Amino acid sequence: MSSGVYLHVPFCRSRCSYCDFATDVYKSAEIVESYVAALVKEIENFNNLIPSRAQTISTHVDTIYFGGGTPSLLSAEQLENILAAIYRKFSVAETSEITMEMNPATVTLETLRAYRKFGVNRASFGAQTFDDAELKRLGRRHTASDVRETIELLRQAEFTNVSFDLIAGLPGQTIKDWERNLDEALKLKPEHLSLYLLEIHEATPLAEQIRSGRQPLPDEDSAAEMYEIMLEKVSASGYRQYEISNFARLGYESRHNSKYWTLDAVFGFGCSAHSFDGAAIRYSNERDTARYVSLIEADDSGIVNRETIDAASEFIFLGLRLTEGIDLKKYERRFGVNLIQKYAEELQHLDELNLIEVTGNNLKLTDRGFLFSNEVFAAFV
């Protein structure tokens, strides 16, 4: 089975109030250049960092994902250097999905055409909302107009696989606001949509703003109604829900993100990047950008943590995120355990709450289960 490669580019023009990712404000071209050099060096020393079994798994790659941060702040030359390093170390399929996250108003037609030239064939960018006042409160630098202009540029650059994100349940957001956001998004006809309910992360500016009363606490009941409206509108517009928060036209499901939900091998490079060997070992890199660069320059490795995970448990709660659910025979082949027998008591309780359903060799969430998915996942942790 082919693996995936993830590359973290931490730089942003500014930090959003809700963001909990490892990001750094873009300060100078020199800092970005030194980071790219470290990233390339880490890729080139990959064989020394990951055990031999993982090296075998990772030989063949069919997804590459540039996440961040704002990877679209990379120059075309920097992107080319990173991709060249990947092609030297991995056997990359000709049909690979190569995704770059972008922020609206950070790209030009020229740079987008250069990205396409070097193989990027999928764009994912954060619209978040089409309300300029909400964007400002979130600390986003772009406007709703920038979103529309960016998708137009992507089409001109011959991107035929475009995804963007929207967030529901923003402080002060009404049901009508959310419906208007969905309508605006669907008008633009992206191939893929990621639609999230807002999560408040500790130590973020938004968490502090809510604590201090400068922003209202999002209303949970309204968020649940927004989720139901989202399902109805998106489905009526020809998108299929294939994961709790993700919707796509047929054939445009995110192949890279699907690897996380099915516990396939994914190898991460860059600060805060995580790798999984496809069996049971997860690796994580240094989160701080400057310290990551120093570690790579000193000994080629940015890894600061290795852990053995409970893969059988993760396979369940990650697999249940998918609308198709879990193949029970596949689970038993992979882990040597009958899931239904092992979790008989938990499954009975969840079934009584109408949160799951078992049909033949398939276990999946019900519509109600998707709405209360965290309660289901907790049963298998």
Residues 133-176 have pLDDT tens digits of 888 877 777 889 999 999 999 999 999 999 988 988 777 788 99
Both 212 and 352 in one domain: the answer is no
Say yes or no: 239 and 357 in one domain. Answer: no
Ramachandran sector of residue 273 (left: φ over 0; alpha: ψ -120 to 50; beta: rest): beta
CB atoms within 10 A of CB 345: 9
Same structural domain, 215 and 332 = no
Domain shared by 90 and 233, yes or no: yes
Kindly compute the dihedral angle of the four CA atoms of residues 264, 97, 190, 123, in this order, to the nearest 10 degrees. 110
Question: Quick check: 244 and 59 in contact, CB under 8 A?
Answer: no
Whether residues 117 and 219 share a domain: the answer is: yes
Q: Are 57 and 172 in the same domain?
A: yes
Residue 120: partners with Cβ closer than 8 Å, 6 or more residues away: 66, 79, 98, 99, 100
Based on the domain organization, do 102 and 222 belong to the same domain? Answer: yes
Q: Provide the number of structural domains found in the chain.
A: 2
In a domain, 290, yes or no: no
From the list 57, 67, 79, the residue with the least C-alpha distance to 103 is 67
3-class secondary structure, 107: coil
Specify if 310 maps to a domain: no
Q: Is residue 59 part of a domain?
A: yes
Structural domain includes residue 37: yes
156 φψ region: left (φ > 0), alpha (ψ -120 to 50), beta (else): alpha
Q: Is residue 202 part of a domain?
A: yes
Count CB-CB contacts under 10 A for residue 280.
14
Q: Is residue 32 in a domain?
A: yes
Q: Does 158 lie in the same domain as 85? A: yes
Q: What is the CATH number of the domain that holds 169?
A: 3.20.20.70
Residue 40 within a domain:
yes
Q: Which residues of 354-381 are buried (b: 16+ CB within 10 A; e: fewer)?
A: ebbebeeeebbbbeebbbbbeebbebbe
Asked if 120 and 239 sit in the same domain, the reply is yes
Contact 358, 347 (CB under 8 A): yes
User: DSSP state, 47?
Assistant: G
Per-residue pLDDT of the chain (381 residues; tens, 9 = 90+): 799 999 999 886 544 433 444 444 445 678 889 999 999 999 999 876 555 444 555 579 999 999 987 898 899 999 999 999 999 999 999 999 999 999 888 899 999 999 999 999 999 988 888 988 888 877 777 889 999 999 999 999 999 999 988 988 777 788 999 999 999 999 999 999 998 876 544 444 433 443 434 444 556 678 778 888 999 999 999 999 999 999 999 999 999 999 999 999 999 999 999 999 999 999 999 999 999 999 999 988 899 999 999 999 999 999 999 999 999 999 999 999 999 999 999 999 999 999 999 999 999 999 899 988 989 999 998
How many residues would you count in the chain?
Answer: 381
Over the range 29-48, which residues count as b (16 or more CB within 10 Å of their CB) and which as e?
eeebebbbebbbbbbeebee
251 shares a domain with 329: no
Residue ending a domain, choose from 219, 239, 260: 260
Query: Which of 260, 280, 301 is a domain's end point?
Result: 260
Q: Point out the domain boundary residue: 260, 286, 311.
A: 260
- Residue 181 within any structural domain of the chain: yes
* Domain interval for residue 82: 3-260
Spatial distance between the Cα atoms of 203 and 78, rounded to a whole number of angstroms: 32
The reply to whether 355 and 212 lie within a common domain is: no
In this structure, are 147 and 250 located in the same domain?
A: yes
